[in-house]
Structure 1
Amino acid sequence: MTWVTMSIAVSLAFAISVSAPTREPASPGTAPRPASAAPSASASAAHAPPASHQKGQGETTALPFKGALIECSSRKPRLAHDLTRDIARTLASRDSRASIALYDRTTRTSCTYRADKRFDSASIVKPTILAALLHIRDGYLTEEEQYLARKMIANSDNRSTYVLWDTVGPGNIQHFLDEAGMTNTAIDEAGFMGLTQVTARDQATLLALLTGEDDTVLDEEERAYILGLMRDVQNDQRWGAPAGAPADAAVQVKNGWLQRSDANLRNPWDRGDWKVHSMGAFTGRAYNYGLVVLTENNRVPEDRHPDAGWVYGMDTIESVARAVHRNLHPDR
């Protein structure tokens, strides 16, 4: 059984309002960094000992945390315990609501935290759009489509994305999702690509498909094409999951963010907050793992720069990423 079909226990520039797309914010390097948030009332959960048990040749660890479970398993001694502990410590002082999915083929390690919670996708849906296009074209793209694909992935250009979104069509995107086993992803009925509903688990499934060896859905050349564009993401869009990654790893990344309209008063989680996401695949040498971190409730305080919530989400993701990379590769 491949990691694509296994149940894995186990991102940018799209700003949108509830009713219509809006202008993207400035690059991450220009936004002011907010002060660290005070620990939340549930921060003490990070200091509680995780519950661990042996399963076969590996270890599984679970820790109740902020109304859900951080669960990790690994065949490497104590790695599951250490990952669970450090993810909890990292998130304890953050106000962001986060979702995490991690897989590592080398150590047979996986972690999940609220991995089936749906989020507005923002730009992390873009690799899925390209994968669906390749799927229906049997890998053949015109020169114009190749140009648009590079703009969509490497530069996160939204106009190029919508051209390809319309080219593929929701039916073909759904067909790809079904074939790929991304069963909890839902296309926005109104046609806004950034409001596609995604989960960390499904995005990790996509990363596992792209870095795997199963040709059932996409062949080797098609997978390599998508990964190559993700490796070429422009420098100011390479934050998030790559933070703290081994210097000699090949890094494939896609990030996304959006700010919900403050006109939506029915759901307090959508009152002007930022959704900030990152997904990364790390390959080469001894590396073969993927990490997805989705966040929301990254607030914009009234007295702060409008991008403060976006940067807060980015900091949350990078804190998790550093903890993950440090545990997986302590000597790198």
Structure 2
Amino acid sequence: MPHRPRRRRTALAVLAGTALLAAAPTPVTATAADRTPSCRAPKNAALAKQVTRDLRTALAERSGTVSVALYDDRTRLSCTLDGGTRYDSASIVKVLMMEATLRRAAGWGRPLTAWERRNLRPMIRSSDNAAASRLWNDLGRPYLAATLNRAGTTRTTLGPYGYWGLTRTTANDQLRLLGALTGPRSFLGATARSFGLQLMSEVRRDQRWGVSAGMPRGLRAHLKNGWLPRATHGWRIHSIGAFTGGGRTYRIAVLSHDNPSMKYGVRTVERVAQAVHRALNKGRAIARTATPDSEISERSDGSVPPDAPELPYPYE
């Protein structure tokens, strides 16, 4: 169910008078393939060149605004495409809330409480918005901001007035947050990382589209998605995930908006994911194919109430 912040409604009403003037639908005119990905692999220039080419092909003739960031621990391949572009986070901000909760428990030298577990599990597994709102309010903005800083994010700002789904973030910053769950220098301990990854591997079936498409057998997907339509910039379709197993770990973040439908955005994200998995796992059998049309709902993730104003701070 969508959360409905109770605080500062008066301030929102003042903003709405001007912000909603910009609420007319934005036409989808940009072509995602117009921009060139930047890939590097210190010891495998051929791989970097291939992935650059494959990402361009995956985005050929795809409209909308798309950002990609990825990192493979084995080959040290890193790629970015407009990785600093900012988007409304929708439900992927729940990974930040999870990490902040895990960090707080470790910092206080205690295990997670029963209340924290009761909210973390549905928030990640089924994208429960009521649980997310409870954790957001319990953690507080200062602690969430401190967690962002600890993760090394540079362009993520928390959503205003309790609208956590309007947190602004980038693909590069989402890759850093995923690194807190997989990286050797993580600010989270081994137990916390294991618990967080476990939850992200248990996302319910109808929410497992996105960067898991094209993954090979023998790997495990740890996933979180966001899918949110708004009057401006159309559908936000985001998918972030870490892939572990077989002696390797890699992370992928794909963020997008200006999608005319949820299905269109999912298709774009999955084209990117398939290109990455194929390049990093040559010759391996595929475990997860593209999501069937029948499993794409065209319903919002509910991370922002439908009556929330179009807030007037600009995209960058």
TM-score, length basis structure 2: 0.77
Bigger share in strand = 1
Q: Residue in 2 aligned with 1:72?
A: 39
Residue correspondence of structure 1 range 160-175 to structure 2 within 5 A: 160-175=131-146
Q: In the TM superposition, what is the alpha-carbon distance from 1:129 to its structure 2 partner?
A: 0.5
Structure 1 outlier segments of 4+, above 2 Å: 13-16, 40-43
Q: Is residue 236 of structure 2 the alignment partner of residue 275 of structure 1?
A: yes
CA distances 1:167-204 after superposition (whole Å, capped 9, x unpaired):
10111000111111012110012221110011000110
Question: 2:211 touches 2:240 (CA, 8 Å); kept in 1?
Answer: yes
> What 5-or-longer segments of structure 1 have no aligned partner?
1-12, 21-39, 44-64, 262-269, 300-308
Q: CA RMSD in A?
A: 2.2
Q: In the TM superposition, what is the alpha-carbon distance from 1:77 to its structure 2 partner?
A: 4.3
Query: Which of 224, 242, 251 is the aligned partner of 2:212?
Result: 242
CA distances 1:129-167 after superposition (whole Å, capped 9, x unpaired):
011122122263211210110000011000011001101
Q: Residue in 2 aligned with 1:329?
A: 281
Q: In the TM superposition, what is the alpha-carbon distance from 1:86 to its structure 2 partner?
A: 1.1
Counterpart Cα distance in 1 of 2:200 and 2:56 = 29
Q: Residue in 1 aligned with 2:246?
A: 285
Counterpart Cα distance in 2 of 1:288 and 1:156 = 24
Q: Is residue 198 of structure 2 the alignment partner of residue 228 of structure 1?
A: yes
Q: Residue in 1 aligned with 2:228?
A: 258
CA shift in 2, pair 1:124/1:198, >3 Å? same
Secondary structure of the structure 1 residue equivalent to 2:179: helix
Amino acid at match of 1:196: T
Q: Percent identity?
A: 41
CA shift in 2, pair 1:84/1:192, >3 Å? same
Residue correspondence of structure 1 range 1-332 to structure 2 within 5 A: 66=34, 68-74=35-41, 75-138=43-106, 140-215=111-186, 217-261=187-231, 270=232, 273-299=234-260, 309-332=261-284
Q: In the TM superposition, what is the alpha-carbon distance from 1:286 to its structure 2 partner?
A: 2.8
Question: 1:237 touches 1:255 (CA, 8 Å); kept in 2?
Answer: yes
Question: 1:101 touches 1:293 (CA, 8 Å); kept in 2?
Answer: yes
Counterpart Cα distance in 1 of 2:249 and 2:271 = 21
Alignment length (residue pairs): 259
Amino acid at match of 2:158: I
Counterpart Cα distance in 2 of 1:200 and 1:191 = 22
Secondary structure of the structure 2 residue equivalent to 1:78: helix
Amino acid at match of 2:237: V
Counterpart Cα distance in 1 of 2:3 and 2:237 = 10
CA distances 1:255-292 after superposition (whole Å, capped 9, x unpaired):
0011113xxxxxxxx15x10000001001113210000
Amino acid at match of 1:125: V
Q: In the TM superposition, what is the alpha-carbon distance from 1:78 to its structure 2 partner?
A: 1.0
Amino acid at match of 2:197: L
Q: In the TM superposition, what is the alpha-carbon distance from 1:213 to its structure 2 partner?
A: 2.2
CA shift in 2, pair 1:141/1:82, >3 Å? same
Amino acid at match of 1:181: G
Q: In the TM superposition, what is the alpha-carbon distance from 1:42 to its structure 2 partner?
A: 6.0
> What 5-or-longer segments of structure 2 have no aligned partner?
5-11, 14-28, 285-316
Question: 2:89 touches 2:226 (CA, 8 Å); kept in 1?
Answer: yes
CA shift in 2, pair 1:42/1:203, >3 Å? closer
